[in-house]
């Protein structure tokens, strides 16, 4: 019986290029009001940390990819990347 | 006159340990309902990309640190890290 190990996945979810980003626009306007005129664009996404058990890194990554596809990211408008480390 | 260059900062904002994370709890419950019982904890933060002009990397990083302290992160409940790359 393989022993289960603890892993942490750091998942980064961002809007696909070309998708309207009202939150990014609001943050950019806020930065401009604070005097950061050198900022040309802002895009806001999600940074999700998931702690899970899995026998090895490959198994952990496979499950995290499934979680991204089914819940953590909206495949229509978002793209994601992640990496897995021992917790 | 030093020429301005284009940079991109990738900023990761996460709740400080111990701070209540209702969003993380909701995502964890969602993953459990989809059958991912091996997930013990989820924390949700923000992944913010900022495009800006600056004469060099050090100047860009100094400005981004100010932006984090003043707008992008809430210092009371959040912590942030970022890295700067040429855009």
Q: Are B55 and B2 in contact (CB under 8 A)?
A: yes
CB A22 within 8 A of CB A28: no
> Tell me: the pLDDT tens digits for A29-50?
999 999 999 999 999 999 999 9
pLDDT at position B3:
80
Number of C-beta neighbours around residue A18 at 10 A? 7
Please state which CATH number belongs to domain A5-86.
3.30.1280.10
Contact residues of A toward B, CB < 8 A: 4, 6, 12-14, 27, 30-31, 34, 36, 38-54, 63, 66-67, 70-72
Question: What is the per-residue pLDDT for A64?
Answer: 98
For residue B51, the model assigns a pLDDT of: 97
Which stretches of chain B sit within 8 Å of chain A by CB? 4, 6, 12-14, 27, 30-31, 34, 36, 38-54, 63, 66-67, 70-72
Q: How confident is the model at residue A82 (pLDDT cuts 50, 70, 90)?
A: very high
What is the pLDDT, as a whole number, of residue A33? 98
Give the A:B interface size as CB pairs under 8 Å: 98
CB contact under 8 A, B70 and A34: yes
Residue B2 has pLDDT above 90, yes or no: no
Which pLDDT value is given to residue A4?
Answer: 84
> What residues of A are in contact with residue B13 (Cβ under 8 Å)?
47
pLDDT digits (tens, 9 = 90+) for B41-54: 999 999 999 999 99
DSSP chain B: -PPPEEEEEEEEEEEPTTS--HHHHHHHHHHHHTT-TTEEEEEEEEEEEEEEEESSHHHHHHHHHHHIIIIIS-TTTEEEEEEEEE-
Determine whether the interchain pair B53/A63 forms a contact, defined as Cβ–Cβ distance below 8 Å: no
Q: What is the ipTM of this complex?
A: 0.88
Q: What is the mean pLDDT of residues B10-25?
A: 94
> Looking at residue A1, what is its pLDDT?
55
Chain-chain contact of B51 with A40 (C-beta, under 8 angstroms):
yes
- Supply the pLDDT for residue B1: 56
Distance CA B44, CA B23 (A): 6
Which whole number is the average pLDDT over A13-35?
A: 95
B-chain residue closest to A25, CA distance: B50
User: What is the per-residue pLDDT for A74?
Assistant: 95
- Chain B residues within 8 A of A70 when measuring between CB atoms: 34
Q: Where are the domains of chain A?
A: 5-86
- CB pair distance less than 8 Å for A48 and B43: yes
């Amino acid at each position: 019986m393989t022993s289960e190990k603890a892993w942490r996945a750091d998942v980064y979810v961002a809007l696909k290029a070309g998708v309207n980003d009202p939150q990014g626009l609001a943050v950019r306007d806020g930065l401009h009001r604070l005097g950061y005129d050198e900022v040309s664009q802002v895009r806001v996404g999600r940074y999700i940390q998931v702690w899970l058990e899995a026998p090895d890194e490959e198994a952990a990554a496979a499950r995290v990819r499934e979680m991204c596809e089914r819940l953590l990211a909206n495949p229509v408008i978002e793209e994601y990347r992640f990496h897995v480390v021992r917790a």
